[in-house]
């Protein structure tokens, strides 16, 4: 596998990580990164696949990889198509766009194949954040093998303003059919959320240090960031949430967590899914925002501990 750029100085992850390029089966070039368990360490407990949320990129998960390494786990992360250093899909590189939401399954399949080629230590577990949880859920339903999964603020439904909600699907579909599918939806632009939103107004975390960490990353390497979503992405995301809602849950042991203060994802859609998930558990976290694994220490450590308890239960 060809080595890819990897900005270790801003990732602040554990030592020994490396990034490389792979091709999805439809030709899109993707960037993957692996933080292994050191050869000098005792026998590891397996590998955690990280399915990032929308606008996420590999370096943003360096702190999480450090915590996983302390627990004896390796970390394997992807830049989805249109994100990070993977191929962008529009002339304007800052637009979050995808042709079909199911195109992300090509990326997930490429990630799984790369893990096999690298012979990453098993068992394999997965943490899916927001959009990544929607991608991973379809992957699990399709049959990708994971010993356990943890979903943080899974995007199985999208919270929209009340005035827009009834017509969002129709408007976004009409825009696509009119040739505007790659344009930003109203109110969105190409600026990174972390640079245009003051910490006091952000919905991602109550942890000022972690927010500053994200801000410093996109200032140092703006090529990693994207802006708002296109009409096409919104239309496809809404369709995918509806499609997933009618599919049965897989048997993979699962923990789903959502912050009480999270206004980005539909909590009722998460509750409905988890009510019927065999070996599943749903936790609503008081005072938590959207990204629980980068929250204030009390919330972050409690959420991480619950995920590690689940993963430990699947380790021989």
| pLDDT score, position 191 | 95
> Within a 10 A sphere around the Cβ of 121, how many other Cβ atoms?
17
| pLDDT score, position 316 | 73
The side-by-side arrangement of strands in the sheet containing 148-152 is 18-23, 29-35, 73-79, 46-51, 124-129, 148-152, 254-259, 280-285
Six token digits for residue 186? 């109203």
Mean pLDDT value across residues 139-168: 88
Six token digits for residue 83? 């994100």
Domains of the chain are 8-313 (3.40.50.1820)
Residue 110's contacts (CB-CB under 8 Å, 6 or more residues apart) are 22, 23, 24, 25, 30, 32
> What span, in angstroms and rounded, lies between the C-alpha atoms of 72 and 47?
9
Q: Examine the pLDDT at 4 and tell me if it is beyond 60.
A: yes
Angle (CA) 279-281-284 rounded to 5° is: 170
**29 pLDDT band (50/70/90 cuts)?**
very high
Mean pLDDT value across residues 12-30: 97
| pLDDT score, position 183 | 92
| pLDDT score, position 163 | 56
Q: Examine the pLDDT at 175 and tell me if it is beyond 90.
A: no
Among 12-16, 96-100, 175-179, which is the least confidently predicted range? 175-179
> Within a 10 A sphere around the Cβ of 41, how many other Cβ atoms?
10
**172 pLDDT band (50/70/90 cuts)?**
confident
| pLDDT score, position 73 | 94
Mean pLDDT value across residues 111-133: 97
What is the tens place of the pLDDT at every residue in 289-302? 999 999 999 999 99
| pLDDT score, position 1 | 83
Mean pLDDT value across residues 131-146: 97
Q: Are 33 and 21 in contact (CB under 8 A)?
A: no
| pLDDT score, position 203 | 95
| pLDDT score, position 7 | 98
| pLDDT score, position 99 | 95
Among 44-48, 128-132, 152-156, which is the least confidently predicted range? 44-48
What is the tens place of the pLDDT at every residue in 244-270? 999 999 999 999 999 999 999 999 999
CA 205 to chain centre: 15
Residue 265's contacts (CB-CB under 8 Å, 6 or more residues apart) are 130, 153, 154, 155, 156, 157, 158, 159, 258, 290
Q: Are 136 and 51 in contact (CB under 8 A)?
A: yes
| pLDDT score, position 164 | 66
| pLDDT score, position 41 | 62
**166 pLDDT band (50/70/90 cuts)?**
low
Compute φ and ψ for 92, nearest 5 degrees.
-85, 110
| pLDDT score, position 314 | 86
């Amino acid at each position: 596998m060809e080595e890819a750029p990897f900005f270790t100085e801003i990732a602040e992850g554990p030592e020994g990580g490396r990034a490389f390029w792979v091709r999805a089966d439809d030709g899109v070039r993707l960037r993957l990164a692996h933080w292994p368990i050191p050869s000098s360490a005792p026998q590891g407990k397996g590998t955690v696949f990280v399915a990032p949320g929308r606008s996420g990129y590999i370096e943003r998960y360096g702190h999480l990889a450090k915590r996983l390494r302390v627990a004896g786990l390796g970390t394997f992360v992807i830049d989805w198509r249109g994100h990070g250093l993977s191929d962008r899909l529009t002339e304007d590189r800052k637009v979050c766009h995808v042709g079909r939401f199911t195109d992300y399954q090509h990326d997930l399949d490429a990630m799984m194949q790369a893990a096999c080629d690298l012979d990453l230590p098993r068992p394999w577990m997965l943490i899916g954040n927001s959009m990544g949880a929607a991608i991973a859920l379809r992957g699990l339903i399709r049959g990708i093998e994971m010993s356990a999964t943890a979903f943080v603020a899974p995007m199985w439904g999208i919270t929209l303003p009340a005035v827009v909600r009834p017509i969002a699907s129709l408007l976004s579909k009409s825009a696509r059919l009119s040739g505007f599918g790659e344009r930003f939806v109203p109110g969105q632009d190409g600026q990174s959320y972390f640079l245009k939103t003051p910490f006091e107004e952000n919905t991602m975390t109550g942890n000022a240090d972690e927010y500053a960490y994200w801000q410093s990353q996109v200032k140092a390497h703006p090529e990693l960031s994207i802006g708002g979503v296109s009409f096409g992405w919104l239309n496809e995301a809404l369709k995918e949430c509806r499609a997933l809602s009618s599919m049965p849950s897989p048997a993979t042991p699962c923990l789903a967590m959502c912050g009480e203060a999270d206004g980005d994802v539909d909590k009722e859609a998460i509750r409905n899914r988890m009510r019927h998930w065999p070996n599943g558990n749903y936790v609503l976290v008081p005072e938590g925002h959207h990204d629980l694994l980068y929250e204030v220490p009390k919330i972050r450590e409690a959420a991480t501990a619950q995920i590690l308890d689940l993963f430990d239960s699947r380790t021989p």
